[in-house]
């Protein structure tokens, strides 16, 4: 079996030893020895052919209650430490010995020519939307310690360390591990939406603020050396946006007041960061030579840049003070010179930049000053312009209240044509439609208050208005009318989100009708973002059918946008896990329909994935490089459209998959009770997770459950059902009816081969014996046949994958991943077995101590860490 790379293996070993020493110091030799026995037994079981966990079950069954919490904490912390070692290695030069970006530039320069490549680089627009994560289980206190450990591991890799410096690094690691062990892993209070937004701002402050200018400088240097291209100063290929504090779909905790507070916090945090930059520049720009343009502002000064920046610094400080006072409820008057736009920040910086170049100081101009200029272009006046998201039903309800109050009839009962006629008429009228005072419901009032907050904010602080469950053109028009009636003075982009299988199938039809409306074309200025929902479509139809529906929807939307002359950006609402559209960026981009990227893409990045991809400057730099390479490749080398026979076969496969999935999830009378008894779905409420409830509605079954806890629950028991259920039927259909075409698809269609690769990873992370143990402990015997059926389905799917990929076992083509999973398994398995036992005790109704409840929560965190996702 292939071994892990030496550096990674050594880091895992070192962190494991430090954790062991810490446990021995704090818990005693006897408890440490018990943990080691469990670890060694788990390892030996994992290496044996039988893979029989009964001996481990027996050992765990002998534990005293007081031993359980320290033991689950030990395995949880080891898995977190292993993740840190992975993160450090993944961003290191050793993991990528050659610069992939440089290699791509050279290759594309030869293939497409310097001018074409330069144009595509200048036009890059990669929009990353930071979203909160309802099942992010790790406390921010610990996240900061994790980041420090990764940075310290990086320091250790330096080859020129003196012996005392090495000891210092090891000592720091030991201290951080001890701090981890002495800190409670589980939050005691649920974070608010504002807390989540603050966490997003912290990622920018601690990582992206440095990584963004570093990456653009690197891209500029490569372009200058290899393309003879100097990138423009305003180039900012990455645009950052946020849902934190704006996503109110199913989250009653996100109110208009929260949105206003988060927008203010963004302006306050931006002012704070720019102030730090300008104070640094004040120290750096001590030179006396300056252009006549700058001298006009400062006169005959020995320190013209400092004198000029002093006034700029006062403006930023005044903006900071105003934002802080407003947040405190003091309602200060807006100061003269308040920073309200990107130009307010750029103008003084660019004047200094021009002056330095004019007097022959280009190296100084292109130092930290240029970094700050690039930050302004990338982050603007509030760091991450806010998306506002709301369920389409809420807008319909408000309009229905209004039309009934005005005795116009029931908007809810009108057909689509009548709704459109009414909305377009009032969108073009100058007279207001909303009464000054009318008895609107609390829910309706909240929708209107949100629209008024949006209307009162500078346009640069906001991004788009997203409509969940959009189904008709009127769903877009009604938002435009509500914004207009609430005082909106600019055309905020309105983004329909198509989520269910039916909505995806109808998405092109809806947009075709919308784009035929002259009023809307003028409003949108021939620009449109359309969001594709991955999570809810997969929960509705199963992963296979949903993935094909998403592909077809994008194809049709691209063709339709070209027909109507619309500049289209597809917004991919991907989650962190495969079951919710997640996966490696390279595979995701390579599998997009031809013509759907064109240098522009918008993608959600959720909680834990923000941490894994952007939590540290070096890691973020690597992620930027990956995104840039993948976007340019998808733009310049899009794969051909699927052949007719592929399309015909996958259509029939998707139908077989849909029937197989819904037969179980929607049609099996025992499925919901089986799901609720097998998984910790009901116990998720014990965890103080994100601000958003697990359900969109207080009542209802699986259909009302959010996609994230739906995936989280199945992942905890290692069955991973949302990512594969229904796929066996699809593959069996193809093998029985068109094996040659299926083989052709595997070898020549990147979309399909990427799907199989992700499916293989999901199956490899699953563990049917563990799932069977949960069933034995928790599920009523009359429900066991369904569990046996599901596990047999998964086992059969594994056989099919190996057969189709012509391999003997999973991960034949990725032995590194196989080894990584093998290393983690002896640590995850005990957590699963203990979690099943704890769930059994918790549900028994017998006394359950606070220590055991905390242990149950820690098992959830540990399994999430081991599986490298929470949902």
Whole-angstrom distance, CA of residue 353 vs CA of residue 532: 42
Would you call 840 helix, strand, or coil by DSSP? helix
> What helix, strand, coil percent values describe the chain, rounded to 5?
65, 5, 25
Whole-angstrom distance, CA of residue 386 vs CA of residue 392: 18
Contact 778, 677 (CB under 8 A): yes
User: Which residue among 236, 377, 539, 572 is the active-site one?
Assistant: 539
Contact 680, 715 (CB under 8 A): no
Three-state secondary structure readout of 605-666: EEHHHHHHHHCCHHHHHHHHHHHHHHHHHHHHCCCCCCCHHHHHHHHHHHHHHHHHHHHHHC
DSSP state of 809: S
Whole-angstrom distance, CA of residue 568 vs CA of residue 560: 10
Please name which of 197, 299, 308 lies closest in space to residue 246, comparing C-alpha atoms. Answer: 197
Is 168 among the catalytic positions?
Answer: no
**Structure tokens that stand for 685 in this block:** 């409420």
Contact 592, 634 (CB under 8 A): yes
Whole-angstrom distance, CA of residue 557 vs CA of residue 507: 8
Alpha-helix runs per DSSP H in 738-814: 739-748, 750-765, 768-778, 784-804
**Structure tokens that stand for 828 in this block:** 């995850």
Whole-angstrom distance, CA of residue 534 vs CA of residue 838: 33
Q: Please give the full DSSP string across 523-561, using - where no structure is assigned.
A: HHTTEEEEEEESHHHHHHH-HHHHHHHHHHHHHHHHHHH
The C-alpha torsion from 254 through 255 and 260 to 261, rounded to 10°, is -60
Find tokens 């009378």 and name the residue.
669
Whole-angstrom distance, CA of residue 475 vs CA of residue 531: 14
Whole-angstrom distance, CA of residue 54 vs CA of residue 825: 15
Whole-angstrom distance, CA of residue 682 vs CA of residue 136: 17
Whole-angstrom distance, CA of residue 242 vs CA of residue 383: 9
User: Which residue among 109, 133, 239, 543 is the active-site one?
Assistant: 133
Cβ-Cβ contacts under 8 Å for 781 (sequence gap 6 or more)? none
Contact 567, 527 (CB under 8 A): yes
Is 109 among the catalytic positions?
Answer: no
CA–CA distances in Å: residue 846 to residues 57, 60, 65, 838, 842: 22, 20, 14, 12, 7
Whole-angstrom distance, CA of residue 387 vs CA of residue 131: 10
Contact 649, 751 (CB under 8 A): no
DSSP state of 2: P
Whole-angstrom distance, CA of residue 191 vs CA of residue 143: 15
Whole-angstrom distance, CA of residue 535 vs CA of residue 497: 12
Contact 863, 78 (CB under 8 A): no
Please name which of 725, 675, 726, 662 lies closest in space to residue 701, comparing C-alpha atoms. Answer: 675
Alpha-helix runs per DSSP H in 48-139: 54-61, 65-90, 100-112, 114-122
- Write phi, then psi, for 496 (nearest 5 degrees): -75, 140
DSSP state of 242: E
Question: Which residues are tagged catalytic?
Answer: 133, 539
């Amino acid at each position: 079996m292939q071994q892990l790379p030496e550096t990674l293996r050594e880091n895992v070993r070192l962190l494991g030893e430090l954790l062991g020493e810490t446990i021995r110091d704090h818990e005693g030799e006897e408890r440490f020895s018990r943990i080691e026995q469990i670890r060694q037994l788990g390892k030996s079981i994992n290496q044996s052919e039988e893979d029989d966990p009964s001996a481990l079950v027996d050992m765990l069954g002998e534990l005293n209650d007081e031993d359980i919490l320290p033991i689950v904490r030990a395995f949880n912390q080891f898995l977190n430490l292993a993740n840190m070692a992975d993160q450090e290695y993944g961003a290191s030069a050793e993991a990528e010995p050659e610069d992939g970006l440089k290699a791509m530039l050279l290759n594309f320069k030869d293939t497409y020519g310097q001018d074409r490549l330069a144009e595509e680089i200048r036009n890059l627009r990669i929009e990353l939307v930071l979203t909160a994560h309802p099942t992010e289980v790790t406390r921010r206190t610990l996240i900061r310690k994790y980041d420090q450990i990764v940075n310290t591991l990086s320091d250790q890799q330096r080859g020129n360390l003196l012996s005392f410096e090495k000891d210092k690094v090891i000592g720091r690691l030991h201290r951080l591990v001890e701090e981890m062990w002495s800190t409670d892993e589980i939050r005691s209070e649920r974070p608010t939406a504002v807390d989540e937004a603050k966490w997003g701002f912290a990622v920018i402050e601690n990582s992206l603020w440095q990584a963004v200018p570093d990456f653009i400088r690197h891209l500029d240097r490569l372009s200058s050396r290899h393309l003879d291209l100097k990138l423009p100063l305003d180039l900012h290929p990455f645009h950052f946006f946020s849902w934190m504090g704006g996503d109110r779909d199913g989250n009653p905790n996100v109110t208009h007041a929260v949105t206003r507070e988060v927008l203010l916090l963004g302006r306050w945090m931006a002012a704070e960061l720019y102030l730090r930059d300008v104070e640094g520049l004040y120290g750096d720009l001590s030179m006396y030579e300056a252009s006549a343009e700058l001298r006009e502002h400062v006169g005959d000064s020995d320190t013209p840049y400092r004198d000029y920046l002093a006034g700029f610094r006062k403006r930023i400080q005044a903006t900071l003070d105003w934002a802080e006072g407003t947040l405190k409820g003091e309602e200060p008057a807006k100061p003269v010179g308040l920073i309200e736009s990107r130009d307010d920040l750029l103008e003084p910086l660019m004047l200094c930049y021009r002056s330095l170049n004019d007097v022959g100081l280009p190296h100084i101009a292109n130092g930290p000053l240029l970094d700050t200029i690039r930050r302004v272009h990338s982050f603007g006046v509030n760091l991450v312009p806010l998306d506002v998201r709301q369920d389409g039903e809420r807008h319909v309800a408000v309009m229905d209240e209004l039309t009934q109050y005005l005795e116009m009839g029931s908007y809810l009962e009108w057909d689509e044509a009548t709704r459109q006629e009414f909305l377009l008429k009032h969108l073009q009228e100058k007279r207001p439609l909303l009464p000054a005072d009318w008895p609107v419901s609390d829910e309706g009032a909240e929708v209107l208050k949100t629209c008024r907050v949006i209307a009162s904010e500078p346009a640069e602080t906001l991004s788009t208005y997203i409509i969940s469950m959009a189904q008709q053109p009127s769903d877009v028009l009604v938002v435009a009318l509500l914004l207009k009636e609430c005082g909106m003075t600019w055309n905020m982009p309105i983004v329909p989100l198509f989520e269910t299988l039916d909505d995806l199938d109808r998405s092109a039809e809806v947009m075709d009708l919308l784009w035929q409306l002259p009023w809307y074309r003028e409003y949108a200025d021939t620009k449109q973002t359309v969001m594709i929902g991955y999570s809810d479509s997969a929960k509705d139809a199963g992963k296979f059918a949903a993935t094909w529906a998403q592909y077809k929807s994008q194809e049709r939307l691209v063709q339709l946008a070209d027909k109507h002359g619309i500049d289209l950006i597809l917004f991919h609402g991907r989650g962190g896990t495969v079951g919710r559209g997640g996966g490696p960026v390279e595979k995701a981009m390579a599998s997009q329909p031809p013509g759907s990227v064109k240098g522009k893409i918008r993608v959600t990045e959720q909680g834990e994935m923000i941490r894994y991809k952007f939590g540290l400057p070096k890691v973020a730099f690597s992620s930027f490089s990956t995104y840039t390479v993948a976007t340019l490749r998808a733009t310049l080398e899009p794969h051909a459209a699927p052949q007719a026979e592929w399309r015909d076969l996958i259509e029939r496969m998707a139908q077989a998959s849909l029937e197989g999935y819904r037969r179980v999830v929607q049609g099996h009378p025992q499925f919901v009770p089986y799901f609720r008894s097998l998984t910790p779905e009901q116990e998720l409420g014990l965890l103080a997770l994100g601000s958003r409830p697990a359900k969109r509605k207080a009542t209802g079954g699986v259909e009302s459950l959010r996609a994230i806890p739906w995936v989280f629950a199945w992942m905890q028991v290692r069955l991973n059902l949302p990512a594969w259920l229904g796929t066996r039927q699809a593959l069996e259909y193809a093998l029985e009816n068109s094996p040659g075409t299926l083989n052709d698809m595997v070898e020549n269609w990147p979309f399909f081969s990427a799907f199989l690769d992700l499916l293989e990873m999901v199956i490899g992370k699953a563990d049917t014996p563990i799932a069977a143990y949960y069933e034995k402990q928790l599920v009523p015997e009359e429900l066991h046949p369904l569990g046996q059926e599901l596990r047999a389905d998964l086992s059969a799917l594994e056989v099919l994958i190996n057969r189709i990929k012509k391999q003997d076992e999973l991960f034949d083509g990725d032995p590194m991943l196989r080894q990584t999973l093998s290393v983690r398994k002896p640590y995850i398995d005990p957590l699963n077995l203990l979690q099943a036992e704890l769930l059994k005790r918790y549900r028994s109704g017998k006394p359950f101590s606070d220590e055991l409840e905390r242990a149950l929560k820690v098992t959830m965190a540990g399994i999430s860490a081991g599986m490298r996702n929470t949902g």
